[in-house]
Structure 1
Amino acid sequence: MEKTNELPACEAPDSSISRYLALLFAIPCGMAVANIYYAQPLLDALSSGFDIDRSAIGIVVTVTQICYALGLLLLVPLGDLLNRRKLIAGQMLLSVAALLTVGFAPSGAVLLAGMAAIGLLAVVTQTLVAFASTLAAPAERGRIVGLVTSGVVIGILSARTVAGLLTDLAGWRAVYLASAALTLVLIGVLWRVLPNAERERSSMSYPQLLRSVLRLFCEERILRVRAVLALLIFTDFSILWTSLVLPLSEPPLSLSHTAIGSLGLAGVAGALAAARAGRLADRGLGQPTTGVALALLLASWLPISYTKHSLLALVFGVILLDLAVQAVHVTNQSMIFTVRPEARSRLTAAYMMFYSFGSAAGSIVSTKTYAHFGWHGVCAAGAAVSALALLFWALTRKGK
């Protein structure tokens, strides 16, 4: 099969990055992706602060996710062409400016513009994941990807706790201002420790680089299959987490932002447990791991449907759902990184665009469904998407 690019491969066949460095990769991954999800537990506060109707407030999350998808296409492939250390630092500096824009936003229009920029630049997370996979030895790639990706999911879920706590203490603007300050500190740390590997000059232009992302998707079946699974599982993930604040903030529960955000800690427990999925993928067990995880994803919606009657049932369901989503996500990435080692940033971009499409779709579906059919309607939609994902896996698992 003809190769899709002319860029040199950058492999580490006999060595792997240390656990310390892998954890250091995970921290900025978590911080960057958390910037996208801070808004989810704050939707009611943003609705009130900017006079946006509750049925339409999901647009804040949707705009962020759509721009994240654009960033995946336009920025992440650059990791196969440019010095990744400089690329990562530059994107994070621009993220600081975007966070400050949101933190000081005087109107809904400025808020949406800032959120769009945050989404576009948060793709530095995927540049870091691809960088870590390149530095890892092949026999440990799944484990390293699982460790770094666990930072991503922990960032997504802890964002709710941090956002809720800071909002109750100092208002929602403090969430974005604090993130800007911490990101600035982290830039200095990463500049000192990230490998500074200059790339060989390539005859490939930027437009050719972008076109090669589409060619990879057309040529690699495993990428297409795993991208569709990403779309479905993150639609499910977003259906839950975008709308969960609505029933929890209303009577009879009427929970505070801190209490609502703390539910993300339950999801962290599930995500940490699922980090071992990468090791199973390293042992050739990616397909059965996927099947079991998708079955758990479908089952999770039953206890979640009892949210208004039992917070314990909700916590159990959240752990199951986040364990399942993270297990499939880690397995997906571990499997697609086995092809085209010279194109890992572009493989990541192609795969993660479907993640972003799913997150945006889930945000729209969840708030609209809740407005018309309530919490049970949201749970039915989530279960339907889970069932579709399980069916799709069953129909495609035997192909190459």
Structure 2
Amino acid sequence: MKRTQSSYFALACLCAFAVANIYYNQPLLALFAKDFAVDEKYASSVAMFVQLAYAAGLVFFVPLGDRFERRKLLMILLGVNATASAVASFTQTIEQLIALNIVIGMTAIGAQIVIPMVSLIAPAEQRGRAVGTVMSGLMAGVLFGRILSGFVGDYLGWRSMYIVATVLDLALLMMVPKLLPYSKPTASQVSYPALLKSLVTYFIKEGDLRLSCLCGALMFGGFSALWGGLAFLLARPPYHFSSDVVGSFGFAGIAGILATPYIGKMADRYSPRVIVLTGSVIAALGFISVFFSSHYLLALIVALVFLDIGGRAGLVGNQLRALALSTEGRSRLNTVFMCAYFIGGAVGTRIGAEISVQYGWTGIAVMGFIVSCFVLMLNVREKNVNKMVNDTA
């Protein structure tokens, strides 16, 4: 594979369509609650379980990227994902939908197979820019998934969205051989149990990895808390918005998409810690804006833009800090980091749904601001933090 921007763009598109599968459900939560006659908190379990399943897929499937040829592995995962999405469109109970979303979440991890590959093929002086470009595709998938599902859900019903997801998966499956180059396994002689064990070993030995995991989980958890409660909050007075309008708020993610390549360039110039610090400050400002969202719609738009940019900075900075620890084990380092990242997102989604029902906009704002300030504190003095993390290991 030639190390060109067009190559990185192709991989960015692949990441976008793969990750979109775990975000289709978020604007549809209120529709799930209505159709299955369950309360809002229970309906939000779909979003929580799909993210937990994504984390599980990272643990059990992504390490195989170091042991097997990545292109074949990705095609298998896409095929299973397409099948689960098709079956999900016919479910009759919320429990069946949750079960199928677990399968969807576990097999939507294609982007995390591709990203470590980018960090290997890119020259060292361009690594941050290359990862930033591919990450912009990943974030485009988040944006695409929320917006598309919001409109499809409102006009055609939520079941139609799973049919659309199936078609997109099948199209991507046919394109993978052209989009993804052949990759030689770097740990073909390592057994699968040994690969899984090495995840724990990396986590125990590397203080920087643990710090990246904690900060990434907290930042994504705060961001996910807002989206976990957004469909319910916007369905209430004074807004009374339907799923298509809720999904359209995903357009705020354009700011993060546009910012991600520049964040990557900053990472090449400065340290990943500086990027994480910047992201936590921006996120804190975003949650201050959330506080005013119950009365001013513009405040919500500003909040989503700030949180998206802050979240992207936190993701790129923490991920680069983790991937820099080993050349041979980048798939496994990425697995540990992204597993923690999406566990944080799943917990945040659930907490956000609970807080939105109990305390509304104010509760989300206070929780997110505290989390952002804690991440800021953790990264102000990295040497002291690493010592603290190592002492607790």
Deviation at 1:238, TM superposition (A): 0.6
Deviation at 1:398, TM superposition (A): 5.9
The amino acid that maps onto 2:340 is: F
**Equivalent of 1:231, from 214, 217, 221?**
217
Distance 1:202 1:41, change over 3 A: closer
Alignment of 1:246-325 (within 5 A): 246-325=232-311
Deviation at 1:135, TM superposition (A): 1.7
CA contact (8 A) 1:298 1:383 kept: yes
State the match for 1:387 in structure 2: 373
The amino acid that maps onto 2:130 is: I
Structure 2 unaligned residues grouped into runs of 5+: 387-393
Mapped to 2, the partners of 1:16 and 1:218 lie a distance apart of 36
Distance 1:377 1:176, change over 3 A: same
**Equivalent of 1:69, from 33, 36, 55?**
55
> What SS class does the counterpart of residue 195 from structure 1 fall into?
coil
2:373 is the counterpart of 1:353: no
> What SS class does the counterpart of residue 92 from structure 2 fall into?
coil
Mapped to 1, the partners of 2:384 and 2:100 lie a distance apart of 44
Aligned residue pairs, count: 386
Q: Greater shift after overlay, 131-140 or 81-90?
A: 131-140
Mapped to 1, the partners of 2:187 and 2:298 lie a distance apart of 56
Deviation at 1:345, TM superposition (A): 0.6
State the match for 1:27 in structure 2: 13
The amino acid that maps onto 1:57 is: A
The amino acid that maps onto 1:299 is: L
Mapped to 1, the partners of 2:44 and 2:360 lie a distance apart of 15
Residue by residue, what CA displacement relative to the aligned partner does 1:235-265 show, whole Å, maximum 9, x if unpaired?
Answer: 1111111111112111221112222111111
2:34 is the counterpart of 1:48: yes
Alignment of 1:236-247 (within 5 A): 236-247=222-233
CA contact (8 A) 1:275 1:326 kept: no
2:324 is the counterpart of 1:338: yes
CA contact (8 A) 1:84 1:131 kept: no
Percent identity between matched residues is 32
CA contact (8 A) 1:158 1:268 kept: no
The amino acid that maps onto 1:390 is: L
Q: Greater shift after overlay, 321-330 or 272-281?
A: 272-281
Residue by residue, what CA displacement relative to the aligned partner does 1:324-357 show, whole Å, maximum 9, x if unpaired?
Answer: 0001111222222222111111011000011111
CA contact (8 A) 2:43 2:94 kept: no
Mapped to 2, the partners of 1:236 and 1:16 lie a distance apart of 38
Q: Greater shift after overlay, 232-241 or 266-275?
A: 266-275
2:142 is the counterpart of 1:178: no
Residue by residue, what CA displacement relative to the aligned partner does 1:300-338 show, whole Å, maximum 9, x if unpaired?
Answer: 112122222111111111111100000111122222222
Structure 1 unaligned residues grouped into runs of 5+: 1-14
CA contact (8 A) 1:98 1:117 kept: yes
Deviation at 1:397, TM superposition (A): 5.4
Mapped to 1, the partners of 2:296 and 2:6 lie a distance apart of 40
CA contact (8 A) 2:213 2:337 kept: yes
Deviation at 1:395, TM superposition (A): 4.2
Mapped to 2, the partners of 1:250 and 1:356 lie a distance apart of 28
2:149 is the counterpart of 1:163: yes
Mapped to 1, the partners of 2:49 and 2:186 lie a distance apart of 36
2:110 is the counterpart of 1:124: yes
RMSD between superposed Cα atoms in Å: 1.7
Mapped to 2, the partners of 1:66 and 1:182 lie a distance apart of 23
> What SS class does the counterpart of residue 82 from structure 1 fall into?
coil
Mapped to 1, the partners of 2:257 and 2:383 lie a distance apart of 24
Deviation at 1:41, TM superposition (A): 1.0
CA contact (8 A) 1:282 1:334 kept: no
CA contact (8 A) 1:16 1:137 kept: no
Deviation at 1:399, TM superposition (A): 6.2
Mapped to 1, the partners of 2:135 and 2:29 lie a distance apart of 26
Mapped to 1, the partners of 2:51 and 2:186 lie a distance apart of 33
CA contact (8 A) 1:278 1:334 kept: no
Deviation at 1:87, TM superposition (A): 0.7
Deviation at 1:48, TM superposition (A): 0.9
Deviation at 1:271, TM superposition (A): 3.4
Mapped to 2, the partners of 1:201 and 1:278 lie a distance apart of 28
Alignment of 1:59-138 (within 5 A): 59-138=45-124
- When normalised by structure 1's length, the TM-score is 0.92
Distance 1:200 1:284, change over 3 A: closer
Mapped to 2, the partners of 1:251 and 1:259 lie a distance apart of 14
Deviation at 1:201, TM superposition (A): 7.2
Which aligned segments of 4 or more residues in structure 1 are displaced greater than 4 angstroms?
Answer: 397-400
The amino acid that maps onto 1:170 is: L
The amino acid that maps onto 2:278 is: V
The amino acid that maps onto 1:87 is: L
